[in-house]
Amino acid sequence: MKITRLPLGALSTNCYIVSNGESVLVVDPSAEANVITGKLKDIGLPVDGILLTHTHYDHFGALDEVQEFTDAEVYMSDIETDWLTDTSKNGSIRFTEEITSSVSPNILKEGPAAVGAFKFDVIHTPGHSPGSLSYKFEDFVISGDVLFNKGVGRTDLYGGSTPELMHSIREKLYKLAPETTVYAGHNVPTTIGDEKENNPYVR
């Protein structure tokens, strides 16, 4: 598969476009909808779905515009569906202007999943937020704001928990094969093996 990483918005939040050569998934349409839709036009493939790792405002700021452009279904955890409209939970009222979404999402549960032509595993990885989901494809995982290149997600926002975050990383993400590429919500990609050896927060 081909992964396109688009760091967007004030926080350079990564939006990912995952392509199998015939169709694509959009993961976390973070901001700058015109950039995302422009890239989708360049790629020129149908969009099978839009996945959200979690619903902090910087991960879905462009959701409505991208959903309208693609007419694709949206998928996320049921734990955070109300965050799409609750600006105190999604953090936007604290850090920027109020950001909400009017989409009606489909629910993903932990375990095997299929969206269009894509098959992947849904891993519930709470800690940064209670409904955080990581998406494991064949040789890579999109981890949202759980595990970063030499970093981890913050836990001081609504619903955050440091013990849950550590458990999610140690008992779920670190159980993946060392060569698994990690595409996080911010910063550049890394691997599970590199983080197990060198991440200063979780050894």
Which pLDDT score is estimated for 15? 98
Tell me the pLDDT of the chain (203 aa) as tens digits: 999 999 999 999 999 999 999 999 999 999 999 999 999 999 999 999 999 999 999 999 999 999 999 999 999 999 999 999 999 999 999 888 899 999 999 999 999 999 999 999 999 999 999 999 999 999 999 999 999 999 999 999 999 999 999 999 999 999 999 999 999 999 999 999 999 999 999 97
Alpha carbons 49 and 55: distance in angstroms, whole number: 16
Which among 25, 20, 15, 68 has a CA at the least distance from the CA of 48? 25
pLDDT the model gives residue 177? 98
Helix orientation angle between 63-70 and 33-43, rounded to the nearest 10 degrees: 30
**Residue found by looking up tokens 């976390």 in the block:** 28
Written as one string, the DSSP assignment of 59-73 is HHTTHHHHHHHH---
| CA torsion angle 159 196 189 40 (round to 10) | -60
Q: What is the pLDDT of residue 203?
A: 77
Helix (H, G, I), strand (E, B) or coil at 140: strand
Determine whether 126 is exposed, middle or buried from the number of CB atoms within 10 Å of its CB (0-12, 13-18, 19+). Answer: buried
